[in-house]
């Protein structure tokens, strides 16, 4: 059975939490069989799978489509549905869209930024929420590391504490100095999940396409375990040669 929000929250200080994004049923099935306990259906799907230049163009309908696909592939894994841009502009709008993600198969939802009233409203309706601070792609003007100066670091710490107090059961910290992520991890009582935020968080998340090398551009904090893009090109080229030489099938 999939871990629930309370079980994941209790992992803080006990065991580190590996998390990966997933967008399709076959990949989700592979990740579940690999023992990944949490899958994030991120709005990153817009950029890494749909060819968009920003996550801001992803719709709630597209997110529900991918959540449903991942759920079918990983029925025994905790699945997080990302709230796309403007899907959580106020508590009531957020509640409607969160319920759509849950109906599609998500166990919890994730939203970006210090939306304390939205988080509290969703939690009051028994919806498990993951927060997200540091670099927040939906509103960022660049993808440079954030929190490097004292003022910005203090802002992010304040956001993290506020998100935890509002009722989130987990917090993603993206692209900050490792020292800042460590301060936040020690300051709040919910697990922190780092992405480009050093090794001291309570867990780590990465975009699946980045770590398997499926694409052409990857963030500076990505670790590639393979380069499947090159493998796919090689296979396609060999297939084309076989067709032209009448050796296929």
pTM beyond 0.85: the answer is: yes
Beta bridge partners of residue 33, listed in sequence order: none
H helices of 127-246, in order, are 150-166, 178-187, 208-212, 228-244
**Residue 33 CB contacts under 8 Å (≥ 6 apart), including other chains:** none
CA 205 vs CA 30, 134, 178, 202, 235: distances in Å: 16, 14, 15, 10, 29
Q: 54: which 2 tokens?
A: 């920003």
Cα radius of gyration (the chain): 19
**What does the pLDDT read at residue 205?**
98
Catalytic residue numbers read: 174
**pLDDT tens across 178-189, in order?**
999 999 999 999
Residue ranges per structural domain of the chain: 5-244
Shortest CA distance to 19 belongs to which of 30, 7, 31? 31
Looking at every residue in the chain, the average pLDDT score rounds to: 96
CATH superfamily, domain 5-244, is: Phosphoenolpyruvate-binding domains (3.20.20.60)
What's the angle, vertex CA 205, arms to CA 11 and CA 156, rounded to 5? 85
Q: Say if residue 1's pLDDT is above 90.
A: no
Residues in the chain: 249
């Amino acid at each position: 059975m999939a871990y629930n929000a309370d079980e994941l929250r209790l992992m803080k200080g006990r065991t580190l939490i590996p998390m990966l994004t997933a967008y399709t049923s076959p990949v989700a099935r592979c990740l579940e069989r690999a023992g990944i306990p949490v899958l994030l259906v991120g709005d990153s799907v817009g950029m890494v799978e749909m060819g968009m230049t920003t996550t801001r163009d992803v719709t709630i309908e597209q997110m529900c489509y991918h959540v449903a696909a991942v759920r079918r592939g990983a029925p025994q894994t905790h699945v997080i549905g990302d709230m796309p841009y403007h899907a959580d502009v106020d508590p009531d709008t957020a509640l409607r869209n969160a319920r759509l993600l849950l109906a599609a198969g998500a166990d919890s939802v994730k939203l970006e930024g210090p939306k304390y009233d939205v988080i509290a409203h969703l939690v009051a309706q028994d919806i498990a929420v993951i927060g997200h601070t540091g670099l927040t792609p939906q509103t960022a003007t660049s993808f440079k590391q954030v929190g490097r100066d004292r003022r910005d670091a203090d802002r992010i710490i304040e956001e993290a504490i506020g998100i935890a107090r509002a009722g989130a059961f987990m917090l993603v910290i993206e692209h900050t100095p490792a020292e800042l992520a460590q301060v936040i991890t020690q300051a709040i009582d919910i697990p922190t999940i780092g992405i480009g935020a050093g090794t001291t968080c309570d867990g780590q998340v990465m975009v699946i396409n980045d770590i398997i090398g499926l694409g052409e551009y990857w963030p500076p904090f990505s670790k590639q375990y393979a380069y499947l893009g090159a493998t796919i090109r090689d296979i396609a080229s060999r297939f084309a040669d076989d067709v032209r030489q009448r050796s296929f099938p």
